[in-house]
Amino acid sequence: MRTGGLAAALLTALVVAGPARAQSRAETLRYVTGAAVNTLDPTMPGTTREAFAISLSTYDRLVTFGRKKLGDNWVFDLDSVRGELAERYEVSADGLTLTFYLRKDAKFQDGTPVTADDVKWSLDRAVSAKSLAAPQLLTGSLTSPDQFTVVDPHTFKVTLPKPDRLALPNLATVYAIVINSKVAKSHATPEDPWAQGWLKDHAVGSGAYGVDVFKPGEQVVLKRNADWTGAAPDKPAGFKRIIAQTIPDPATRANLVEKGDADIVIDLQANDALALKERGKLKVIATPQFNAVTLISFNTKLPPFDKVEVRQALAYALPYDSMFKAALFGRGKPLFGATWGEGDPAPVFPVAQPVTLDLPKAKALLAKAGLPDGFSTTFSFNVGQAATAEPMAALIRESLEKIGVKVEIQKLPDAQMSTQVSEKKLPFFTEGIVAWLPSPDYFYRNFYTGNQRWNYSSIDDPEINELAAKARFERDPAKYDDEARALNKRHLALMPQIPIWQPNQDAVMAQSVEGYTYQFHRQVDYRDLSRK
């Protein structure tokens, strides 16, 4: 495979940036990714995850997530929210008022102070403009500009209709960015009152890095903001310059990082990451994506999957171990083969399921459903996920044939798969779900209730609906755990989907790079990184 041209293109990024030529190799982080950075405004529909990574570093929010250890690795901590632009915050005793006290030294990258008026305009924009922000903030009961109040230039208040447990974490997500409102408003028009057109190509934040070069779909070069001191302990970000380069071919990305022409990559194929780890030259940090789930989904509105016994039968007919090895090379966290004892299931989602391959049990359940001779169906997957889904699909077809279920495999282009999932036309397929705020009620409210795109299984169960709505506003930790356990038990009883695993995110990097933390948006947070 020819990689020299692409490697040279990456190296010339230093020249393109002009002043970057004077920067030493040690002061520049070079990141390669398969997807493109397509906007500098993370709230725009169609924004890629790679664009989220840029925005997390160019903009600040009122608050940010802390971090914790998961095994040997650092991950974001949903339960630890600390100030970012806010030096501190207070939650009222009734949980209905959040008050934020802004840092008096906070400045935008043009040197102007960050004020509560900027926060107000930015959050008004988030809940009012047609964008990705409004539906996300809705999950924390943040819906109207009337909820946001400027108390004084450095004090800002949020008022809630109910004490929503996810209101504060929502303000730490990528969508709750604080924008230099004076600059943005100068580029607004009557047709575009929130300056979405201009902000798509311009970043006016107070974050750790400013944008030096933006070539959509190709390359972004960031330069360090010396006035930003959010890196512990009270220091600027670790690199003077970040170069994020789009290199579509995964083998080429692997080659670039192995040769030292790139410093970090997180979207390699599992076999490439494993090979690089075994060769020992690079650091490979493998973190199970604990806020993401790969699952097998049924459409509970389409026969025969409208029968719970059919769904249960297939759950006991899947070759879990073989799929895990063939698709992921065993690199991830399995969500099958569990044994639930006293106190189980755990009050988390996803939780490992007490299902395993048991063909006699599967046949008995099919007979109970009135289908002793089986049936025919299709199993669909996105061609973009073929590296993992194709070997999985072949093993599923082979195993289900043993209980009389004939499976035709459908490989659908990305757009077609997305459309058919949205229109609820697929009977049996594999997909993934991700929650930026991975609490049980968030998962159930967003993926198992309502007539919404993300309710892949089209489940409409009164018990799940009631439990998820109640848990959302539950302030008693013990009661919340009881409600989460009840949700998990109900999910197993109905089997609308089968969680099968959480794949690893393999962050492959030079030995000199340190500080990597797995973040909610499953991208690199450049602010965490430095070179030893």
Structure tokens at 358: 């048991």
pLDDT tens-digit series, residues 394-423: 999 999 999 999 999 999 998 899 899 989
Q: What percent of the chain has pLDDT over 90?
A: 90
Give the residue among 443, 445, 475, 474 at the shortest CA–CA distance from 461: 445
Residue 15: per-residue pLDDT = 43
Query: Model confidence at 231, in pLDDT bands (50, 70, 90)?
Result: confident
Say whether domain 292-504 belongs to CATH 1.20.58.390: no
Residue 230: per-residue pLDDT = 86
Residue 384: per-residue pLDDT = 85
Dist CA 165 CA 90 (whole Å): 14
Query: Model confidence at 481, in pLDDT bands (50, 70, 90)?
Result: very high
Structure tokens at 392: 């999985």
pLDDT tens-digit series, residues 93-119: 999 999 999 999 999 999 999 999 999
Give the residue among 13, 517, 37 at the shortest CA–CA distance from 242: 13
Residue 16: per-residue pLDDT = 45
Residue 326: per-residue pLDDT = 96
CB 361 within 8 A of CB 316: yes
Residue 72: per-residue pLDDT = 93
Per-residue buried b or exposed e for 68-91, using 16+ beta carbons within 10 Å of the residue's own CB: eeeeebbbbbbeebebbbbeebee
Residue 25: per-residue pLDDT = 80
Alpha helices (H) in 17-68, listed in sequence order: 49-58
Q: Which CATH number fits domain 28-251: 3.40.50.300, 3.40.190.10, 3.10.640.10, 3.40.50.20?
A: 3.40.190.10
CB atoms inside a 10 Å sphere around CB 505 = 23
Dist CA 65 CA 230 (whole Å): 13
Residue 2: per-residue pLDDT = 38
Q: Over the chain, what is the mean pLDDT?
A: 94
Dihedral angle over CA of 406, 408, 409, 410, nearest 10? -150
The DSSP secondary-structure symbol of 44 reads S
Same fold, 28-251 and 292-504: no
pLDDT tens-digit series, residues 163-179: 999 999 999 999 999 99
Beta bridge partners of 97: 159
pLDDT tens-digit series, residues 34-52: 999 999 999 999 899 999 9
The DSSP secondary-structure symbol of 101 reads E
pLDDT tens-digit series, residues 358-381: 999 999 999 999 999 999 999 999
3-state SS, residue 216: coil
Give the residue among 433, 498, 457 at the shortest CA–CA distance from 301: 457
Residue 1: per-residue pLDDT = 36
Residue 4: per-residue pLDDT = 45
Q: How many CA atoms lie within 13 A of 450 on its CB side?
A: 10
* Sequence-ordered strand ranges (E) for 71-163: 73-83, 86-91, 97-102, 148-152, 155-159
Angle between helices 477-494 and 462-472 (to 10 degrees): 160
For the chain, helix (H) and strand (E) counts, in that order, are 17, 21
Q: DSSP per residue over 246-284, as a string?
A: E---HHHHHHHHHHTS-SEES---HHHHHHHHHH-SSEE
Residue 291: per-residue pLDDT = 95
Give the residue among 436, 37, 13 at the shortest CA–CA distance from 200: 37
pLDDT tens-digit series, residues 504-516: 999 999 999 999 9
Dist CA 461 CA 340 (whole Å): 23
CB 445 within 8 A of CB 472: yes
CB 490 within 8 A of CB 347: no
Interval 245-267 mean pLDDT: 95
What pTM was computed for the model? Answer: 0.91
pLDDT exceeds 90 at position 69: yes
H/E stretch holding 405 reads strand 405-412
The domain limits of the chain are: 28-251, 292-504
Residue 369: per-residue pLDDT = 98
Residue 296: per-residue pLDDT = 98
Residue 70: per-residue pLDDT = 92
pLDDT tens-digit series, residues 1-29: 334 454 444 544 444 444 445 447 899 99
pLDDT tens-digit series, residues 71-87: 999 999 999 999 999 99
